Amino acid sequence: MARDRIVCIVAGAGRGKRFGKEIPKSFFTIEGQTLLARSIKSVDVLDEPLEFVVLVPPGWEEKAKEKLAAEVPGANCRVLAGGSSRQQSVSIGLNEIKDVRLVLIHDACRPFVSPDLVRKVVETGLEFGAAVPVLQVTETLARIRDERLEGIVPRERVVGIQTPQAFDLEILRKAYNTAEEKIRTATDESSLVLAADLPVRVVEGEKWNIKVTFREDIEVALSFLTAKKLELTKSEKEMSEE
């Protein structure tokens, strides 16, 4: 049945000005694969088929189709031109979805989310209607004004919000029917759902579920890949010695 479908909207239409590259950051390649393809591959781990609606900057649709066909040939991807903001892009993707069981939203530049976290978010979203992964903040937080510290923010109840996020389709549509100003200023879907006075369940996120935003983040991503390779090599060695 169509209602059993799970669709993932991949938000990758940002130009990535902070990234300092001519190409959109989701098209940046790490060890032969684009961040976009790695992010899709990391989410495509469910037992049931997963459909993707991929939003890219206008004019980059054909390049995205070409890259995805080569790098994730088994993925069911529909590529669309996104809007001028994240929320406009997700709204475009949302308009393409009908009669689905659950909608996932994932950043195109989060290439290392684990299968366990994806499944946990999906399971919690199916049970409660809205679920997001969060990570406890460890740094001291502060407010600033005019380049001076204004006050310290208690961090005990402060978390960083990650993706993928999971929502019942009707909950997400209701969230997008909130005031235009909230949609314009929102940085993710959970904030819109909260603005619609709807509850959002949290699950524990992951330290390595990083979002590549700045060029320096590439070094972090490469460190992660190196660590994974070392871990795999160690496991293979231990198996051969048994």
- Assign 107 a pLDDT band (cuts: 50, 70, 90): very high
Only one residue has tokens 């060695």, namely 237
CA-CA-CA-CA dihedral for 130, 44, 161, 136, to nearest 10: 110
C-alpha span between 74 and 66 (Å, rounded):
13
Model pLDDT for residues 68-84, shown as the tens digit of each residue:
999 999 899 999 999 98
CATH architecture of structural domain 2-133+161-213:
Alpha-Beta Complex (3.90)
Contact criterion met (CB below 8 Å) for 28 and 36? no
Contact criterion met (CB below 8 Å) for 72 and 41? yes
**Which token pair is 6?**
């799970």
pLDDT at 137 over 60: yes
Model pLDDT for residues 199-232, shown as the tens digit of each residue:
999 999 998 898 987 777 777 777 777 766 555 5
Parse the chain into domains and list their residue ranges: 2-133+161-213
Query: What local confidence, expressed as pLDDT, does residue 84 receive?
Result: 86
Give the closest residue to 193 by CA, choosing from 137, 125, 127: 125
